[in-house]
Amino acid sequence: MWNGNHSRKQYSRHSGFGHGVDYMYELALNNVTLVDPDNGVWCGSIGMSDGIIATISEDVLSGDTAIDATGLLAFPGLVDPHTHFGMKGNVTEDFQASTRAAIRGGVTSALVFFRTGHPYKETLEPFIEQARAGSLIDFGIHCGLLTPEHLAEIPWLIEHGVTSFKFYMGYKGFEKARYGSSQAMDDGFFVDVIAALTPYRDKVVLAVHCENPELTARYRHSISPQGTQFLDRFNQENPPDAEAEAIWKAAFLSNRGGVPLYVVHLSSAEGASAVRQLKNLPSKRPMWVETCPHYLVTDTSNRFGPMAAVLPPLRAPGDNEVLWEEVLSGAICTVGSDHCSYQRSEKVTEDGQLVPQAFGFGEVGHTLSLLLEEGRRQRQMPLADIARCTSRNSAKIFGLYPSKGSLRPGADADIVLVDLEQEWSLPLPDLDMSIYEGRTVTGLPVMTIKGGRVVAQGLTLNSGAKLGRYLHRG
The full set of domain ranges for the chain reads 14-74+410-461, 77-397
- pLDDT, residue 41, reads 97
pLDDT at 18 over 60: no
- Per CATH, is 14-74+410-461 categorized as 2.30.40.10? yes
What is the arithmetic mean of pLDDT over 226-248?
Answer: 89
Q: Specify the higher pLDDT residue, 284 or 166.
A: 166
pLDDT in tens, 271-309: 999 999 999 999 989 999 999 999 999 999 999 999 999
> 38: which residues sit within 8 A by CB, 6+ positions away?
6, 8, 9, 392, 406, 407, 408
pLDDT at 113 over 50: yes
pLDDT at 370 over 60: yes
pLDDT at 214 over 60: yes
What is the arithmetic mean of pLDDT over 24-36?
Answer: 97
Among residues of the chain, what percentage have pLDDT more than 70?
A: 94
Q: What is the band of 423 on the pLDDT scale with cuts at 50, 70, 90?
A: very high
Q: If we measure between CA atoms, which residue out of 375, 337, 384, 409 comes closest to residue 106?
A: 337
pLDDT at 447 over 80: yes
Q: What is the band of 9 on the pLDDT scale with cuts at 50, 70, 90?
A: very low
pLDDT at 378 over 90: yes
C-alpha distances (whole Å) from 174 to each of 217, 354, 368 are: 12, 17, 33
- pLDDT, residue 13, reads 42
For β-strands 164-168 and 62-68, DSSP reports them as unpaired
Residues 246-271 as b or e (16 or more Cβ within 10 Å = b): bbbbbbebbbebebbbbbbbbbbbbb
pLDDT at 24 over 50: yes
- pLDDT, residue 251, reads 97
Query: pTM for the whole thing?
Result: 0.95
- pLDDT, residue 222, reads 67
Average pLDDT value for the chain: 92
- pLDDT, residue 172, reads 85
What is the arithmetic mean of pLDDT over 123-136?
Answer: 98
- pLDDT, residue 1, reads 56
- Give the CATH number of domain 77-397; options: 3.10.20.740, 3.20.20.140, 1.10.10.10, 3.90.550.10: 3.20.20.140
- pLDDT, residue 15, reads 62
- pLDDT, residue 136, reads 97
pLDDT at 166 over 60: yes
Q: Specify the higher pLDDT residue, 87 or 73.
A: 73
